Structure 1
């Protein structure tokens, strides 16, 4: 699995340090191959970090790996010779690329995943990359979230970002993965959300988007359910709602959402002085030079990106860790186990009225792009 890398400048006979840790050495080799940097030449450490992220490592794990390899504070590293660097690069609990995934019917869902992969292959052959399960769409959604943040920085002296997390645990014994996922946003939740935003006086001005994302549940041994069988509690779903709101709000303002669902709900609120907003390093590191020139944004888009699994692929969901790929297959097949219907919607811009969404409106103005079919 590979990350998306920017063009890098290199030099031969590098005097940059060579990492000592085996995992970081392997990551440097793989990143070097991707951007065309040969052994003995220097490679920016950020490229190693991107490669690690693409392989399922969290930020804190990457920091520790770099520290253990003696290159935590280095700007560049020397790409080592591949030599005896063989074995498993992948993070132990993150799965492996689909091409190397076991096909034992006792540990996988070959029919569901195979049908899903064939659908993705056809989309790829047709050059139709605007679907929910492509890297193209994930990049676009992440960019749109950043642009919505920039709008609030430019339009309001003070604004708040709100992250609401929903966790419904594992499905019941007689509940399929897709069926479980459809229960995150019942009508009571959307009605309560509308009412509390109206009480705050921000209903017409706020922007918001909700999404579903995969989760590896208890006993994550990569055992997964068949589409027509009960879930064994390993592959499951969690959900987030992201809000950009004019003015200052508090976590208690969103307390009504806790009673509107059977999910465990966590609310996190940050208030921003627009004159003091700077793009967090994690967000900047994921962007490009053009992205940086568009202006500062907040940390909330980073949380959006963390829950767009296709950002960690090169092309589409076939490059995901096994549990996430199977989750995507379940979502695409939906509750009717069919590729002829839309499946479960993963991405939902929130409405500010009967037919309008400020998230779409702001993102379209900033990104000069049309949403297209978001249901996948």
Structure 2
């Protein structure tokens, strides 16, 4: 069996299992009507930003930097769009199948390809500075800090490259399970520490200078008799808030950990491949079966659970003021009340393509990139259409 199990197959099997084990009726996604009773979602601008992703699991996230939205598509077209007007202001065609990025620092723009190449461009001249070959396709967004570019390849290798030359500085490599979800979490940099969720179900903290391990934690314990039952994966990005890091794994747990030592402060059994977000009081998680949870940030106790989205594949919930926003595989954006999980608005923004990349927050707006390449800035406000 292939090392990389397609996400869609996993999700389908999981949803069928969840539906058969529940006595309540799960609402088919097409029966969920659009509404804007408690909040309004209006379009600030909408643009066609290329051909979108190749398949679910690609790490083609929109990046907001310097008043622009930077986007890459599966054919290797890199574009930048004015954040206020939605006009295209920059474009570069690589002619390579891009699957991870873009990342930007000063004048350096970095993307990863399905062929396992990390490519760095000069943002101003559009000239290639360097390219480096890795061991597997790159489906994470690279992280840049100081003289290092850090990326997690599809086979679970965490690699740091020289920002100036692209030469390899170090590689962190651990054994991987027979089956994983397609996709990886994006490595996060905090000072001299790299945090990464791995396909073996672990969260690791690695020293940026030399790649040595500071600590690692299992995000759930593998059980069961088959490779599928035992599969653990961390595809959602770890979220750093204060002195804690929050993470959730597929067929694993949602956890709060001490950032310095990796000590588990609380853990709750939850399965998610999308990830989570936090505010000052709560941790919001999209479960693998589509339900959305709010947990107490201090204890992990459940505060509310939104069941109406069960059976839909959603992105991670994203906090926007006193609301929580997520996209789904039917091209809808759903807005929840962060205090009780009530649905305030549900709007289909793409009738042909789903949304697998998390919305990006800009003030009270969100920027959303659909899987087909439609890029939109949407304004959220409480009180419906008033």
TM-score by length of 1: 0.22
| Bigger fraction of residues in helix | 1
Greater Cα radius of gyration, structure 1 or 2: 1
| Bigger fraction of residues in strand | 2
TM-score by length of 2: 0.22
RCO comparison, higher one (Cα < 8 Å, 6+) = 1
